[in-house]
Amino acid sequence: MKAGEGGVHHGDCLELVPELSRREKFDLAYADPPFNAGGKRAARVGRGERVRGQHAYDDAWSTIDDFLRMLEPRLAVVRDALSERGTLWLHLDHRTVHDAKVAADRVFGRSAFMGEVIWVPGNGGKKRSGPSVTHQTILIYARGKQPIWNGDDPALRESFAATSLRMHFQNVDADGRHFRERVISGKAYRYYADEGRRLGSVWSDCPAMRANTPLIAETTGYPTQKPLALLERIVRASSLEGSRVLDPMCGSGTTLVAAKNLGRRFAGVDQSPLAVQIARGRLLNGSAKVTSRRRRDP
């Protein structure tokens, strides 16, 4: 497969992404780089333990400055690969996200920052002294002035609180749908109970366990694999059917599987031969399954 085509490519995104975007830009890029957590990461093979598994990638830099020297030029090539309606979703944790935010501001410009998602994997706290950090952060940057944002997609809606439903949604229209009306600055707005409200910035309903337990078919054994439900929501939020989706550090290929499931074109890059092997296998074996659901109650 040539570098200018879709699929999964082995190599450094710094070199490959410019070629992948030469003919056509991407509407969405999701980047999940190493977190600089220290040490090496191994993959579970078969029923073995991950810690004794096959080497997947290194996750250690001597200093935060070394980490940023790796990350910033790669952010720049991803920026240049985006369409004018494109966005970058940059997934990190507390170890580097604050410094990476400053670097991404330099690359995209501070005004390009759209916001952030706090993802709660649901693993619980582990520290015995001081607060445990039990979330990760996804920074969102726009390439241009009018990025794709599908805020009314069911994957980006959630149920109204039970108390709100009881108190405010007493009206019923001719079709039997419960609603409330509010007048704001002289203009009337109608909200339907069955449509739910727009999802906020804290996502706690896409548990990491879906991707990290050998009891579930979705799991590949690749370290730090993200759940398919999380990536499907991101793809649905910031791309259209037929859009091109890029993952410049694709790991086990979850972004690519989500894009394939949802009718997007895709390209992934990774320096790990094991990651490329796993990602290609997932795309070829037809095991992809859409897991996203409406968040509101039926």
pLDDT for the residue numbered 129: 81
Angle of helix 254-261 versus helix 228-238 axis, rounded to 10: 60
Give the total residue count for the chain.
Answer: 298
- Residue 153, pLDDT above cutoff 90: yes
CA 222/CA 250 separation, integer angstroms: 11
CA 116/CA 288 separation, integer angstroms: 27
pLDDT for the residue numbered 83: 98
What is the sign of the dihedral through the CA atoms of 145, 231, 26 and 106?
positive
How does pLDDT run across 275-286, given as a tens digit for each residue?
Answer: 999 999 999 986
Can you list the domains of the chain with their CATH numbers?
7-150+199-284 (3.40.50.150), 160-195 (no CATH)
CA 194/CA 234 separation, integer angstroms: 22
Average pLDDT (156-173) is 95
pTM, entire model:
0.86
* CB proximity list for 278: less than 8 A, separation 6 or greater: 43, 220, 221, 222, 252, 253
How does pLDDT run across 40-67, given as a tens digit for each residue?
Answer: 555 656 555 544 456 655 656 779 999 9
pLDDT for the residue numbered 222: 85
